[in-house]
Every structure is written in structure tokens, then in C-alpha cells.
Structure 1
Amino acid sequence: MIERWNRDQVLALAPDTSSAKAAQGVSSPGKWSGIGATADALWGECKGSGSTPYRACVDLSEPAYRCSCPSRKFPCKHALGLLLLWSADGVPAADEPADWVAEWLEQRRERAVKATARAAEAEAPRAAGTGADPAESRRAGQREQRVAAGLSELERWLADQVRQGLAGSRRHDHWDDLARRLVDAQAPAVAGALARLSSVLSGEDWPARLLGEYALLHLLCVAHRRLPEVVGEARDGVDTGLLQRVRERVGFPVTKEEVLAGETVRDVWDVLGRRDEEHDRLIARRVWLRGRNTGRAALVLSFAPVGQALDASLVTGTALDADLAFYPGTSPLRALVATRHGGAPAAPAPGSTPQEVLEEVAGALAGDPWADSWPVVLDAVTPAGNGSWSLGDSSGGLALHPSAGTPWRLIAASGGHPLTVAAEWTPRGLRPLTTWDEEGRVIVL
């Protein structure tokens, strides 16, 4: 039986604030008929403006949603309203789902089986040990040459920027031409990093921040240029994970099939929080996890065009017993959920002192100098501020990200008393994600 979510967890699924507000307007029992819930499904019919009520259902195991309303938002206000009603214990239990719900669930199971079969078929030739396609090997070699040439140009360009000074970088289109050439050179990750540099110009400290970004790009160029000689030394103890990380930061992809074919880590994973970002009409969702027994951090990424549904299967404040498959590299963080063994009782995630958090982040950066975020959990800390805000204890504190402003919700939850806080570490400070009240219930920040 899936543990019932609380109100904050449900509202965290809303695509925007207007959807969250509208959902509360349709969460009263009088709006619904034919409602019911089983161990992994939830359904009901909501009275709308038309003569026929809207049918909404939720697959709680993902979660996934379906509604007959014309809304393009996902989940829509009816699915959210139904979840709010369920969170308030307003949906009666049922032995079996309604026929139209059972049909939808069966279709979802069939699609999952077909997807698994397709993945197995794609992996079969590799498992059989067939030789590489000569044409594919030739294309791979050509790409390596284009990437090397593109990064060599970037390295010279960076040297020119430092030699000439940063004043000319105040134009927001300063990097556009070079970014397009790097796309042509098939180094998309580096091109994306360049394209995002315009966001650095908004702060008063932009010269220092921009110089830091240039330094990291230069480090990546040098690391890639030295790959051939380092690969030759790999037998002498060079970390092959770092080699993989360099290639990933350049833009060489690792397929999901390759990741899932590797080793997995089973644990009870606490879902600490999530953050959505938009880049070039594409929404990227970051969901942060933490293993209760292993203490490992994990990041599950999903992408979708603006206006389309994102993966909402990992709900903030819940926990799941699952096997995670991590992408290769030093300080592995990004992961895929390989196998779910079921839910687990929600509880505050185990925390660390500010000093222990700094040591953990330092270790992560030693393995991946280009990391720009890392999930952490601070135990027994209080928010404090005088112009800028931090989270800390008697031994010290960690600054909050400037975008956090005055963290009113966190201050209210604390009431001046220590509490456990999950946050996303970034070079500019912590972004608070969640905290827990005295009864262990999650509060989304």
C-alpha cells in the first residue's frame, strides 16, 4: 500500500502556482462522484462547466495522470484536486478500480512490457559480442577530430578573452557565434555551457564569476586535449572515471542501456526535493535523492519541451526502496531508477554538520571539478541572517543562494529552533529544498 501523501507533497506536483490554486478549488468532496482508491490507483469524476463530468485518475506507483478535461497542463487541476482530497482521507477504499481506470492501467502495463522488450532487443547484439560496424567506427573517429578542433578553438578564444580583458563580455550575445561553432563541432555540452554564460552578467560580481567560468572551460579543454596521453597511462592507476567525466562534460553521450547494464545500488532513497529549469524551450527537472543506509547522493534528470509533461514519479518527501544505476565517472551523481521494490515509510533524512557537508562537497569537486550542484542534508541548524542568510550551528554555517531572498517559510518552520534541512549546494550558496516538522512530516520550501 502506497503511503498517503500530505498536502505539500501534492502541491509540489503542480506545474505552476495557478494550477495549485485551482486544484484547491476542486478538492472538496461535493465536487466529486464515483471516487475510489486501491493500493496503487486513485480515480473520480469531477463536475465541470459541461454536462458531462471530467474523469480523472492517478497511477500512484509512478505517479502518472489521466483526465478527460481539455487542459494542456500536466497534471491538471482535477488530478491535483483528487490527490488533495485523497491526502485529506476523503477518498474511500475500493477492492477493484472502475472499469475505465482498469483499462487505462492495463494499457500502461502493456506499454511498459513493450518498452522493456525493445530495450532487450537493442542490447542483444552487444551482449552477443558482435564486431563494431566499420561505418560507425569511421563516424566516431570523424567526430573525435571535430570535437578536438572545436575545443582547440575555444582554448585559443579563452586565452584572447583574458589577454584583452573582460569588458567586451558585457554583451549578452558575446558567446553566440562560438557556441554555434561548437554545436557544429559536435560538442553540445560545451556549447550549452557557453550559451548560459549570459546569466552571469546580472550580478554586481559578474567579472569574478565570469572569470571562474572561463577557468573551468579552460580546464575542460586542457583535460580533453590530454586524454590521448592519459589513456596511455591508465594502466598506471589513472582514474578512468575521470576520463569518462571529461567526455561527458564535452558532450559524448552515455546511453540509458549502457547505464542500466552496469552495477546498481539498492537502498531506501529519500526524495529530498526537485527543481525545474528552462533552457531553449526545454524544461529540465532535477530530482535529488539520498540513500538512508549508503549515504549516497543521487540526481535523477528528466527533460520535456515547454508545455509537455515531465516525469513526476518521484514525489518530494516520499521514500522508495529501489536499485539505482549510476552514470559512470568520478563522484557519480546522476542515476536512473533501475528497479523499484516498493515504497518505504517517509522519515526525515539523516543529516550532517556544516563542516561534514563541506568535506563531502570538497570530495565531490575533487572528482568532478565542473560540478555545479550537490544534494546535502544539514542536521540541527537554524536560519540566521543580517542582510544575507545562512544555515548553521555553533560550529559555523553555510550561506544561502542569493535567489533564496528572505526564507520566510524556513524561518516559520524553525521558529528559532534547530531543524533538519535538505538543500542543493551550489557555488553561490545553498538552495533550500525541504525540511521536516516535529512530527516528521515534510515541508516543501
Structure 2
Amino acid sequence: MNWTIEQILGLAPDQFTLRAGRSLAEPQKWLALHHDGDVVWGIFPNGRHNTSETAVYLPTFSFICTCNSRKAPCRHSLALLQLWQQHAPNFTPQPPNPKLTAWSKREQIKQARANGRSQPNNLSQLKTGLDALELWLLDMVRHGLARLPERPKAYWDAMADRLIDAQAIPLAQTIRRLAQLPKTQPDWPEQLLQEIGRLYLIIQGFRQFEQLPVTTQADLQTAVGWLPTATENPPIHDTWLVLGRQQEPAGKHTRHTTWLWGQKSQNIAQLIEQTRSAVPEGRWLPTNTVWQGTLQRTPSGSPQIATRHGQLQEIDSPTIMPPSFGTIRDATQAYGRSLAANPWLADFPMLLQNVQPQPTESGWQLADPSGTLLPLPEKFSHGWHLLALAGGNFDLTIFGVWNGRFFHPLSVYAQQTWQDIHIWRGVQ
């Protein structure tokens, strides 16, 4: 395993786990550290009588731990990986207990079955949920937007829950986000009407789903949160640089998004995977690692989503620097063209060079030498870190996604590597 400590810490699901995992990564704090084939495992003391047994299956970086954390990796798994990277001689050969051995065998079977798995979707169930959403939206407009600030939380939650039952998680998340607009945004009526229009366009799209082109059908499916499936598009065999990663809850599942740059194809691919745990299927793909393998793009008016086509193999490679947009204006114009081709486009990847973060009364923004600004998310907590890296100049190279309102930074190029931003401690 040739990962850096920063790449390992980039697997942390949140700041608490990151800090705790870092503090436990000392050999003397562990009762036992062992390895057995593709599995590393250890025993950590929890108080006077209890212990936590944790293991990592290295081919897929799957984790198991007897602690009561529901996060993956938990702090023990994260610490174990750091110890394996920095103190491998401290690990002695020894098979794990029968429970961990059985788990590692199950992981091998899961790895073999991972390719070609698709998400079962229920179009009839979805359309029923969309019919209910249409009536709800029409009722909202009929009674006037002025009454929305008085609506109770249950008004929004009931519709969101209905959409979750219909397997339309992103639409449910949109409804919960709309509930917050009247309380937080001065221009909330404009934002609300824009979202209502987008939702209504999705509803009408599914009304005539069978008559639409394959690309439009795929974009509609992505908009409601259905995973892409295998297609007839030609596979793309390439060398892929991992530029950034995202992880978010999707109902009872976890959605993993990995942004990769193809060195030969000169294109960004958005790899989306959904699991019942916090661990992606196949393999973890940490930021700044390089992989060889084949991806297959799904149909779209603005193709960027891809699926795995076989296993990806990590390789040693010099750091790749993909080309960037010349200016922020170039990037937003490219977004406009993609949005015209796919009206439901949620996230548009942007690699920007020669930019500088600037604090304003309304929050942080990115600026380029021409003075064009790109707003960062509300309560963005890493502005001062980025400002320090830029050194007061237009020297920052950054990768992130633009959703039409905010630019969400995912990684920054510093010290000849791409570094996950989310592992930094936030400063308000």
C-alpha cells in the first residue's frame, strides 16, 4: 500500500472520526497488531474490560469493527490503516478470529460480484410519487407563496417522506432544502420558483418517458437518484487520476461520487456508486491516486457519469495536472452549455487555476485576475486555509463542482499533490 497519510485520512467520513483516528494511530496504544494475507487487524482497549477488534480487507479497503460506531471507516479502522502505512514491522503474522476470517471471505465474494450490479428501480412506484408531488406543488402555488413561512415542518416532511418511498431521494432532499429557504434566504421566492420549475419539468418528463430519447431518459433517471446502468457506449480504457470524492446519505444507502480525469481521453468522469454501508463497492479511490482500467459512460445530453467496466488497478505514476478552464467566465459558460443539453444537471466539475479566495460580508468567493467571482457555499469553513495557500496572490489551483449557485471545493493542488479539502479542520 503506497498511500500517503493524507490520502488515508481522506477516507474519514467526518472531522470527529478524522481527529480520533489520528490520535489512535500509535502502536503503543494497541493490544495487538497483526496481518494475514490481504487482511490487517488489531485489538484496541476500550476501558478496563472491553476491547474493539477491527480489520481492513486491503484489496477493497472494506472495514469491520466491533465498536458501536455506524461510520465506515470508524476511528479504529482509520488508525489501523495509518499504522499499517507507517509501522508495518509492528504487525506480526497471525490469523484473525473466526468471525473476522468469515468476514474477509465474504468480502472476497462481494468483490467478485461487484461488477455489473445495477439498482432495481420501480418506475410505477416513482410515477405514483411524482403524481403526488405535482398535486402538492399545484396546491402550494394555488394558495400563494406568502403563506409558506408559516407552514409547519410536518408540511414539508410529509412530501419528502412520500418521495423517499418512491425511491426519489434527491427530490426528497430538494423538498427539505426548500423548507429552509423562507427562513434563511432573502430572495427565497425566486429560488423557490426556480426549484418548482425544475421539479415540474421532471414530472412532465416522466409522463412521456417512453417517448423520449435514450439520453433524456438517462438524465431523468439520474435526476431522481437512480444509478446509471450498463450501456452500449464504447468502453474507455485510460489512466485515471482521482481529483476528488464526495459521500452523502441517500435514504438507507450511502452515495459515493468519485471524480476522475482520463489522461488519454482528456475528460472528467463522474463515478457514482450506492451501497447500504459507508463503503463503496469495488475499491476506495482516494484523491491523488492514479488507476488504470476501463469505464463506460452512460447516455446523457451532457455525458460525464460513468460506471466501472471491470476492476481498476492502482499504478505508480507522476502527478497528473489536467488542463483547467482559462477563466471563471470560461467555466461558467461551459456549465451553461452543459445545462442546455441536460436541464437536470446537478453538479458540473470545474478545475480552476490562478484564482484567489476572497472574504466578503456575504461569505467566501473565488476570484480570478479579471475580477470575475464565484461564490463558495454558505458557512464555508476552509476559506482561510485557501487564502494562506494562495499567499495573497492569484496562485490557487482548485477542483470542485458548481451547482448553479455555489462552487463546492473538493481538492486543492499543493506541494505537487492533490489534497482533500474536507480533512482540514474548519475555521469560521
What is the TM-score when the length of structure 1 is the normalising length?
0.75
Mapped pair 1:300 → 2:280: no
8 Å CA contact 1:268, 1:322 repeated in 2: yes
Does the C-alpha gap of structure 1 residues 216 and 386 become closer, same or farther in structure 2, counting only changes over 3 Å? same
Does the C-alpha gap of structure 1 residues 268 and 225 become closer, same or farther in structure 2, counting only changes over 3 Å? same
2 CA distance for matches of 1:105 and 1:183? 31
Mapped pair 1:444 → 2:421: yes
Tell me the residue number matched to 1:169. Answer: 148
Mapped pair 1:99 → 2:101: no
Tell me the residue number matched to 1:400. Answer: 376
Give the Å deviation of 1:59. Answer: 2.9
8 Å CA contact 1:348, 1:442 repeated in 2: no
Superposition pairs of residues 19-418 of structure 1, within 5 angstroms = 19-32=17-30, 35=33, 42-46=40-44, 49=47, 55-67=53-65, 69=67, 71-87=69-85, 89-92=86-89, 98-100=94-96, 103=101, 107-108=105-106, 110-112=108-110, 115=113, 151=130, 154-155=133-134, 158=137, 161-162=140-141, 164-170=143-149, 171=151, 172-176=153-157, 190=171, 193-201=174-182, 202-227=184-209, 230-231=211-212, 239-249=213-223, 253=226, 258-259=229-230, 263-278=234-249, 283-303=254-274, 308-311=277-280, 313-344=284-315, 345=317, 347=319, 349-350=321-322, 351-353=324-326, 354-387=328-361, 388-395=363-370, 396-405=372-381, 407-417=383-393, 418=395
2 CA distance for matches of 1:227 and 1:401? 34
Q: Which has the larger radius of gyration?
A: 1
2 CA distance for matches of 1:296 and 1:71? 38
Which runs of 5 or more residues in structure 2 are unaligned?
A: 423-428
Give the Å deviation of 1:114. Answer: 6.2
Residues 134-181 of structure 1 deviation map (CA, whole Å, 9 limit, x = unaligned): xxxxxx8xx65x866765665565455445531122224444555566
Does the C-alpha gap of structure 1 residues 34 and 193 become closer, same or farther in structure 2, counting only changes over 3 Å? closer
Does the C-alpha gap of structure 1 residues 49 and 328 become closer, same or farther in structure 2, counting only changes over 3 Å? same
Does the C-alpha gap of structure 1 residues 365 and 56 become closer, same or farther in structure 2, counting only changes over 3 Å? same
Would you tell me which structure has more helix in proportion to its own residues? 1
1 CA distance for matches of 2:321 and 2:102? 35
User: Residue 325 of structure 1 aligns to a residue in which SS?
Assistant: strand
Residues 50-105 of structure 1 deviation map (CA, whole Å, 9 limit, x = unaligned): 57975543233321223455655432322212222344x332399x9643399568
Give the Å deviation of 1:45. Answer: 4.8
Mapped pair 1:432 → 2:409: yes
Tell me the residue number matched to 1:131. Answer: none
Give the Å deviation of 1:28. Answer: 1.9
Tell me the residue number matched to 2:425. Answer: none
1 CA distance for matches of 2:249 and 2:12? 16
Give the Å deviation of 1:107. Answer: 1.0
How many residues are paired up? 407
Give the Å deviation of 1:427. Answer: 2.0
Q: 1:309 is matched by which residue type in structure 2?
A: A
Q: 1:437 is matched by which residue type in structure 2?
A: A
User: Residue 17 of structure 2 aligns to a residue in which SS?
Assistant: helix
Does the C-alpha gap of structure 1 residues 399 and 295 become closer, same or farther in structure 2, counting only changes over 3 Å? farther
1 CA distance for matches of 2:404 and 2:66? 44
2 CA distance for matches of 1:356 and 1:109? 45
Tell me the residue number matched to 2:426. Answer: none
8 Å CA contact 1:348, 1:420 repeated in 2: no
CA RMSD in angstroms comes to 4.0
Tell me the residue number matched to 1:134. Answer: none
Q: 1:419 is matched by which residue type in structure 2?
A: L
Give the Å deviation of 1:342. Answer: 1.4
Does the C-alpha gap of structure 1 residues 26 and 365 become closer, same or farther in structure 2, counting only changes over 3 Å? same
**Percent same amino acid at aligned positions?**
28
Residues 240-292 of structure 1 deviation map (CA, whole Å, 9 limit, x = unaligned): 301332355357x56x7x42776432223332333333465654443333333
Residues 11-62 of structure 1 deviation map (CA, whole Å, 9 limit, x = unaligned): 2222333332222232123235765779965445545545797554323332
1 CA distance for matches of 2:128 and 2:161? 14
2 CA distance for matches of 1:333 and 1:221? 23
2 CA distance for matches of 1:309 and 1:348? 28
2 CA distance for matches of 1:316 and 1:28? 24
2 CA distance for matches of 1:209 and 1:147? 25
Does the C-alpha gap of structure 1 residues 193 and 21 become closer, same or farther in structure 2, counting only changes over 3 Å? closer
Does the C-alpha gap of structure 1 residues 301 and 176 become closer, same or farther in structure 2, counting only changes over 3 Å? same
Moved more, 175-184 or 342-351: 175-184
User: Residue 110 of structure 2 aligns to a residue in which SS?
Assistant: helix
